[in-house]
């Protein structure tokens, strides 16, 4: 069992960040960051096991000490459909457009893979609409998407909204 992650860092006044693919060493910090929001009912929790299994899906933003301060995962669901998952930014780093940079990076990655559509299930409608996503009825998404949802405690009363972006 990995050691608990250190406390999330506070942002320096004009902190520099870099983007990179996540590594196994990032899992404890990802766990803390994502589940901090999950405890506030703002996103779904992720287990350590799930994070290790899906680490290749994650891209992270790091501070000058290479500590993860933001993350997002691009998970391929089908031959032309992927989900943007676990978008989280350390509260001390919000307002610095890290979430937007991570989404834009995920869209480029999806396009390079031949993905035509990327969707997100979220409570942050305005954020996603601002960067070109539009709302769709969750029931219009393929059943393959619901493989994870069936295990969610909110499955029968899901209040997240589905948004999608079609890539050119």
Residue 153, domain CATH: 3.40.630.30
Domain of 112 in residue numbering reads as 18-166
* CA separation for the pair 69, 103 (Å, rounded): 15
Instruction: Render pLDDT for 23-51 as a digit per residue (tens, 0 to 9).
Output: 999 999 999 999 999 999 888 889 999 99
Has residue 88 been placed in a domain?
A: yes
Question: Binning pLDDT at 50, 70 and 90, where does residue 164 land?
Answer: very high
Has residue 76 been placed in a domain?
A: yes
Greater pLDDT, 13 or 64: 64
Greater pLDDT, 63 or 149: 63
What average pLDDT does the segment 106-134 reach? 94
Q: Are 119 and 141 in contact (CB under 8 A)?
A: yes
Has residue 38 been placed in a domain?
A: yes
* CA separation for the pair 149, 165 (Å, rounded): 20
Greater pLDDT, 142 or 6: 142
Has residue 27 been placed in a domain?
A: yes
Rounded to 5°, the CA angle 95-84-42 comes to 60
* CA separation for the pair 130, 134 (Å, rounded): 9
Structural domains of the chain, count:
1
Residue-level pLDDT at 124: 87
Greater pLDDT, 159 or 64: 64
What average pLDDT does the segment 65-80 reach? 94
Cross-strand bridge partners of residue 2: none
Question: Binning pLDDT at 50, 70 and 90, where does residue 77 land?
Answer: confident
CA 161 to chain centre: 15
Range from 105-109, 111-115, 137-141 carrying the lowest mean pLDDT: 137-141
Has residue 151 been placed in a domain?
A: yes
For the purposes of burial, counting CB atoms within 10 Å of the CB of 107, is it exposed (0-12), middle (13-18) or buried (19 or more)?
buried
CA 40 to chain centre: 16
Has residue 2 been placed in a domain?
A: no
Has residue 112 been placed in a domain?
A: yes
* CA separation for the pair 51, 47 (Å, rounded): 6
Has residue 3 been placed in a domain?
A: no
* CA separation for the pair 19, 139 (Å, rounded): 34
Q: Are 68 and 62 in contact (CB under 8 A)?
A: yes
């Amino acid at each position: 069992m990995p050691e608990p992650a250190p406390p999330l860092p506070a942002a320096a006044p004009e902190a520099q960040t870099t983007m990179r693919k996540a590594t196994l060493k990032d899992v404890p910090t990802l766990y803390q960051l994502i589940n901090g929001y999950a405890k506030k009912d703002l996103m779904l929790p992720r287990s350590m096991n799930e994070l290790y299994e899906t680490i290749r899906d994650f891209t992270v933003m790091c501070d000058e000490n290479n500590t993860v301060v933001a993350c997002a995962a691009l998970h391929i669901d089908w031959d032309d459909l992927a989900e943007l998952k676990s978008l989280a930014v350390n509260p001390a780093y919000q307002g610095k457009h890290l979430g937007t940079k991570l989404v834009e990076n995920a869209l480029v990655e999806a396009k390079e893979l031949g993905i035509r559509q990327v969707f997100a299930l979220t409570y942050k409608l305005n954020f996603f609409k601002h960067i070109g996503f539009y709302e769709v009825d969750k029931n219009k998404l393929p059943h393959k998407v619901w493989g994870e949802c069936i295990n969610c405690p909110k499955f029968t009363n899901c209040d997240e909204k589905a948004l999608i972006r079609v890539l050119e």
